[in-house]
Amino acid sequence: MTIPQPGPAMAPGPVTQPVQPEDPEQSGPAVRPGRFRGRRRLPWWAEFPAMIVLGLVIALGIKTCLFQVFSIPSGSMENTLRIGDRVAVNKLAPLLGWEPKQGEPVVFKDPGGWLPKPVPSGGTLSGAVGDVLSFVGLLPPKDDNYLVKRVIATGGETVACSGTTLTVNGKPVSEPYLYPGDDSCSGMNFGPITVPKGYIWVEGDHRSDSADSRYHQGGPGGGAVPVDNVVGPTTAVVWPLAHFDWFGWAGK
């Protein structure tokens, strides 16, 4: 029997290893140690002031464009707003086309002669810190040149009070927010008065303890307040928490 000799077809060839699928997690160029190291952090004594400055800038932006906090110094809006309450005012609303409406509590700048001249703050360190915090909106304004009242009538409307009844355009106004024991006129009859265009007629909820439009009829607007002086509608009582109340984006 003849044993066949290996021929060209049976010649041993190179051994080929099967191709393994590439691991996607290991694909790509090798990463050198330290290539993507983060930046060195600043020491705490340098980060802390930077964080404070950033916080003040953010607070200033919120005060300028969104909300500002005001303090209630008197009882003219009791019991809706009480002495010492902190209220947030929506400053964005006027930019979005909001206009004061009857029944809304609003904050406005003194149109002139409604408030005594503010006493300048002292030059102490605490006074300077308070001025800065007031400027950025973390504390109420230091100049105390703002008031909060409720809108009773707007430009073009006619307001009057007789006996115990308040009327706007001849129709009685329901006022469930009045201070207990007060009525709409509280012994002060006036009108009829037509509110000039671009003005609002405002009164406090504690009608017997509020020097409002009724007491300033000798002014340029006949007691009314220019709409341009309005900062915005009160959105909420934010402090103290026990008296938290939400009026809504438009102060309703």
CA distance 195 to 227: 11
Q: What is the DSSP letter of 139?
A: S
Please confirm, yes or no, whether 76 is among the known catalytic residues: yes
The one catalytic residue among 63, 76, 91, 109: 76
CA distance 242 to 247: 16
Is-contact 202 154, C-beta < 8 A?
no
Q: Which two tokens stand for residue 49?
A: 């002031």
Q: Which two tokens stand for residue 17?
A: 């290893």
The one catalytic residue among 63, 91, 109, 149: 149
Dihedral angle sign, alpha carbons of residues 97, 101, 105, 110 = positive
Is-contact 132 124, C-beta < 8 A?
no
Is-contact 98 250, C-beta < 8 A?
yes
- Please give the positions annotated as active site: 76, 149
